[in-house]
């Protein structure tokens, strides 16, 4: 891995992904329509996860092609710049379907960093 900054960013990505999954766990998709705290918390966590991914250097991104870097950063950009047209179904699916395998991949990377 390139440097300490990359290591920190990857650890942050893992933490934000875990937090989003943990916070969403007791809820269902319709709750995003009525629970503003849930909605904005998930938007924030996915946004900062994408920002942390954006900060990872290109050599480190190349080292871990199993991480969908462009998609993560693209989601962040959609949430931050398209804040007035957020697709809540896409947000929910991201948390429910995309984050669990991402967490597994990031745990593997962080485990190699520690070892």
Active site residues: 76, 81
What's the rounded Cα separation, in Å, for the pair 64 and 42?
25
């Amino acid at each position: 891995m390139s440097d300490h900054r990359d290591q920190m960013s990857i650890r942050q990505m893992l933490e934000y992904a875990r937090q989003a999954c943990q916070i969403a766990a007791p809820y269902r998709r319709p709750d995003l329509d009525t629970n503003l705290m849930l909605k904005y918390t998930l938007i924030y966590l996915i946004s900062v996860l994408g920002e942390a991914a954006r900060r990872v250097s290109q050599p480190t991104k190349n080292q871990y092609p199993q991480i969908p870097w462009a998609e993560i950063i693209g989601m962040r950009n959609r949430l931050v710049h398209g804040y007035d047209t957020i697709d809540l179904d896409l947000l929910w699916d991201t948390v429910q379907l995309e984050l669990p395998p991402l967490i597994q991949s990031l745990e593997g990377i962080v485990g190699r960093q520690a070892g």
